[in-house]
Amino acid sequence: MSADWQNLRLSPREIEQWSGLEVGDRWVGGVLLGIYRFAKLQHPLDWVGWVLFELATAALLFVFTLPIGLGIARMIPSNRLMLMGMGVSTLGGMVALYGYRWRKGRSLQTLLHLFEEIDRFHEVLGAIAVVDQLAVAQGKAAPAEHHETLQLTRDCLITGLKTERILREQRNWMVQDGSTHLEQSLALLKTLDLQMQADEYAEILQQSVAIAERVQQELYGTGKVGNPISMKRYESMKRYE
């Protein structure tokens, strides 16, 4: 049974496929240029890890500013000026990086909430697997009544991921064209709907006429509709009844 619960888990590859973003334990959308999931930092050591990571990122940026330092050193032989140049460039780089992350983070708020829900779902799966193992250890049959509910939750989460991706990727369209485009599109849709309704009525009317013609042909013979000979035949038939 626990294997079934494991099958319900959403793997990182699946999440990546549905959300269109790289997802890690702590990151969304890559490591250096991605968003840190602060909700996952629960212990002080996690925060220490985050600080160390940011320091390493700053040091890496500092290394890449070495050509600037070399250029300054070639022009003005002063170590202090060279270090200042490299330091200012690193600071600028870090500000740009944080700005980029902040902007990206704003657009990924919904996805981050979804990830929290996915984490809770995985915790529930883990708890159920433990309960199952306990039941099996006690010689009881593992309860299976939650399976359908969990499958439904999983489907909802997948739908949520897919919907968020569509909304995120279509945001540019929404922002650029705004409500005007939406109103025009709605008006067009209404027109199309009315046209379709009118077409349907026309088709129904045509079908009704065709049926009526066929009925009259059956009743009055092969002659044209409203033929007086056929009417006579109809009256004679009525007399025999």
Partner 1 sequence: MGVLTVFLELLKDRKTFLDEIHQQVQLKTKISALLLCSFICYSLYGAIIGSFSSPQQAIASAIKLPALYLLTLVVCLPALYIFNVLFGSTKSIAQHFTYVLSTASVIALLLCGFAPVTLFFLITINSHQDYSFFLLLNVAIFTLTGIFGVSFLYQAMRPDELELDRNVKLRAKILRLWLMLYGFVGSQLGWTLRPFFGSPVSNFEVFRPRSGNFLSGVWNAVMNLMTGAG
Q: Which residues bind partner 1 (CB under 8 A)?
A: 12-13, 16, 22, 24-27, 29-34, 53, 56-57, 59-60, 62-64, 66-67, 69-70, 73-74, 79, 82
Nearest distance from C-beta of residue 185 to partner 1, angstroms: 35
Nearer to partner 1, 75 or 144 (CB): 75
CB-CB contact of 28 with 107 (8 Å):
no
Nearest distance from C-beta of residue 31 to partner 1, angstroms: 3
Cβ-based neighbours of 122, under 8 Å, separated by 6 or more: 9, 10
Nearer to partner 1, 24 or 126 (CB): 24
Written as six digits, the tokens of 78 are 């002063």
Nearer to partner 1, 30 or 221 (CB): 30
Mark 209-241 as b/e (b = at least 16 C-beta within 10 Å). Answer: eeeeeeebeeebeeeeeeeeebeeeeeeeeeee
Cβ-based neighbours of 220, under 8 Å, separated by 6 or more: 227, 230, 231, 233, 234
Nearest distance from C-beta of residue 70 to partner 1, angstroms: 6
Q: What angle do CA 27, 28, 30 make, to 5 degrees?
A: 80
Nearest distance from C-beta of residue 37 to partner 1, angstroms: 12
Nearer to partner 1, 30 or 92 (CB): 30
Nearer to partner 1, 17 or 208 (CB): 17
